[in-house]
Amino acid sequence: MRFRPEQHLRRQADFRAVREEGRRVECGAFTLWWFRRPAPAPTAPARVGVVASIASVGAAVERNRAKRRLRAMFRHHQNLVPVDCDLLLVARAAVNRLDYAEVEQKFITACRKITPPPNV
């Protein structure tokens, strides 16, 4: 699936809202913050922002690699994220040290934690 422009968190206010009003799931290689936004339109897609700092990940090459990996995971598994949800993925150094499959599994597990159980 494509990672469309409307799926990016862009404004600082959106990042701040996810951090201040959202909830957090620790995943080891990264931290996933999530916030259910009041949806004006039920078809608004899930949005994601990716952060990698010098202190936690390292130089520019490592930060860019970490962000690419996290965006790719979101792109491949965006169907696991509720539609009205904003995600903030904060990378740590371990995201580049671990195998992609292992980090991907951590992302899938975290997405299952934030998805509400189906109404039976």
How do residues 52-111 score in pLDDT, each as one tens digit?
999 999 999 999 999 999 999 999 998 888 888 899 999 999 999 999 999 999 999 998
How many angstroms separate the CA atoms of 10 and 88, rounded?
11
The CATH number assigned to the domain holding 95 equals: 3.30.230.10
Domain span including residue 37: 5-114
How many angstroms separate the CA atoms of 91 and 27, rounded?
10
Residue 20 lies in a domain: yes
Torsions phi, psi for 15 (to 5 deg): -60, -45
Q: Where are the beta strands (DSSP E) in the chain?
A: 23-26, 30-36, 47-51, 85-91
Q: Which residue has the higher pLDDT, 73 or 6?
A: 73
Residue 17 lies in a domain: yes
Residue 120 lies in a domain: no
N- to C-terminal Cα distance for the chain?
A: 29
Query: What total of structural domains would you count in the chain?
Result: 1
pTM value is: 0.88
3-state helix, strand, coil in the chain (%, to 5): 45, 20, 35
